[in-house]
A and B are shown apart, each in its own frame.
Chain A
């Protein structure tokens, strides 16, 4: 496992805000302390995809800085051609809400998902459908972002703007089911 450092400090800042979700009619979500956020279990990805070397990154130290977050599990993967980073994939698992045994699966709520998606990237996300799955596409600085959900997991794929196979990589990763 590789270890991330400076860049994930930003992660701490934003995850900490995650618990202030919605209004009164929205489900109350009990946050998870960053120190309690675990890595996803099992090997989600093969060592290579489309000729890219895949490695899981270590974000544990950064997660410890977060007080409260939606996610109770999180893993970040890198995709490199040689040494050059081509893409990253972030896979998160939404934590349970306050309902206990009567918990509402808030992550299934389309409004919740759209609210999350609409705050990602530098342009208005556009919904497309790939193999029956809704995927939201947007852009960041010199990168393309793809966001999708699978049950209580969410995925954010960031690819370099000049990466030549973003769609093929996305198609491969849509098959990933934690």
Chain B
């Protein structure tokens, strides 16, 4: 009757044996520790959020409810217009496309397109074409390029409670499988075009096992490629930004080092529950002598140009994040260290845009992604409110959502259990060599 659980268990038990290193260090906490702990404790709290990513070309707004890491719902707007909704509950994901622009942005790029985009961007940089800020990333996989006017208006009209909740959706088990419309069972609507057609019809479409992972991985989208992902992981982004910066300091307008002319952000507002503000100090631009492994001068990065602040509430939770990519105050340094000298007669704004194009040209030469000229504003409300819940919409149409970036499964549903046969007591198959669980890869 021996049964082999094989490798998964082996790995599992191996880790148990390493308990001996279960000790931690001292209790010394500096400013970075304070901010890091605040971010970490905030990441695990239920909350409402409003995320606004504004560039000169377009404004993305994502609002929603975050119950926990596997349950959230969002409403995504472009230039103030609701274009997409998404509800995730554990393995399930339901989406509703309101506008084709959402599909254009969130469509999964195939490998050929991605490669073409990268090559196109490099060629564009080398030939000097596409330096208008739209072509440096090849086919626009940076998520820009929509034709919005960038009104900068906040999307206050999005239903942050999700229409699914209005539909009276129930818990996972009660998600009314009787109430859904299976798709693709008879060869209909099985290819990507037909799924896209379904999505563009504006109905709720569900992939029962296609929820995306928010954990960092090789397929993690770049900033701007998937604003929904960006919004849901923004606290992790703030932590990365802190690690890339020089230091963090508590906001103190009485400090001898405080320079109000370089501070574009508001002081903490007690009325809004903002107890304190923490400022990220950016690092200095590399000197001409600082070169990379290829002997080239290091191009500027986000950590040189970013200004970011976090606002904490009395409990130490992050309740607001502001970020600006600030080039105007770097123009002098860029002139001295990179010979980036804007033509005469330009306004300061025009100089900043011109300089950013040159910076992205330099970054393209070293194979680095372009920097987006953006401002980010995020607000969190009802942080820690355990009553915040997310419910799936009812009346969904089930199919694969693989057409969407970072989302979807092959079939849109879990595999059927095999027909019961006599248990002969043989060893189970080795999971590493057995066929996939869903039987179709």
Please report the number of residue pairs spanning A and B whose Cβ atoms sit closer than 8 angstroms: 209
Q: Which residues of A in the span 6-63 have a Cβ within 8 Å of any Cβ on B? A: 6-8, 10-11, 13-18, 20-23, 26, 50-51, 57
Residues of B within 8 A of A3 (CB): 1-3
- CB-based nearest A residue for B11: A140
- CB-based nearest B residue for A23: B23
Residues of A within 8 A of B24 (CB): 111, 114-115
Residues of B within 8 A of A11 (CB): 9, 13, 16
Residues of B within 8 A of A143 (CB): 8, 11, 431
A107, chain B: closest CB distance, angstroms: 11
Given A8-B9, A143-B11, A168-B90, A17:B437 Cβ within 8 A: no
| Cross-chain contact A17 with B17 (CB below 8 angstroms) | yes
A170, chain B: closest CB distance, angstroms: 8
Residues of B within 8 A of A57 (CB): 3, 5
Given A82-B417, A164-B437, A116:B23 Cβ within 8 A: no
With beta carbons under 8 angstroms apart, the residue of B40, B429, B431, B436 that contacts A127 is: B40
| Cross-chain contact A22 with B22 (CB below 8 angstroms) | yes
With beta carbons under 8 angstroms apart, the residue of A13, A134, A142 that contacts B17 is: A13
| Cross-chain contact B8 with A140 (CB below 8 angstroms) | yes
| Cross-chain contact A84 with B431 (CB below 8 angstroms) | yes
Residues of B within 8 A of A85 (CB): 5-6, 8, 428-429, 431
User: Does residue B270 face the partner (Cβ distance < 8 Å to A)?
Assistant: no
Q: How does the 8 Å CB contact mask read for B60-78 relative to A, with 1 for contact and 0 for none?
A: 0000000011100000000
Residues of B within 8 A of A92 (CB): 16
User: Does residue B174 face the partner (Cβ distance < 8 Å to A)?
Assistant: no
Q: How does the 8 Å CB contact mask read for A102-138 relative to B, with 1 for contact and 0 for none?
A: 0000000001101110111110001111111010010
Q: How does the 8 Å CB contact mask read for B384-399 relative to A, with 1 for contact and 0 for none?
A: 0010000000000000
| Cross-chain contact A2 with B431 (CB below 8 angstroms) | no
Give the docked Cα–Cα distance between A164 and B408 (Å): 11
| Cross-chain contact A20 with B20 (CB below 8 angstroms) | yes
User: Does residue B209 face the partner (Cβ distance < 8 Å to A)?
Assistant: yes
B422, chain A: closest CB distance, angstroms: 11
| Cross-chain contact B17 with A115 (CB below 8 angstroms) | no
Residues of B within 8 A of A22 (CB): 22-23
User: Does residue B15 face the partner (Cβ distance < 8 Å to A)?
Assistant: yes
With beta carbons under 8 angstroms apart, the residue of A84, A87, A126, A168 that contacts B434 is: A84
14 sampled A-B residue pairs with Cβ under 8 A: A4-B5, A5-B4, A7-B9, A8-B9, A10-B13, A10-B14, A14-B15, A51-B417, A83-B423, A84-B431, A90-B16, A142-B7, A142-B432, A167-B70
Going nearest first, the 6 A-B pairs with the smallest beta carbon separation are A14-B17, A115-B22, A119-B18, A120-B15, A129-B44, A128-B69
Write the residues of chain A forming the contact surface with B, with a CB cutoff of 8 angstroms.
2-8, 10-11, 13-18, 20-23, 26, 50-51, 57, 70, 76, 78, 80-88, 90, 92, 111-112, 114-116, 118-122, 126-132, 134, 137, 140-143, 145, 156, 158, 160, 162-168, 171
6 further A-B contacts with Cβ under 8 Å, apart from A4-B4, A128-B44, are: A7-B13, A8-B9, A51-B417, A84-B428, A129-B44, A164-B415
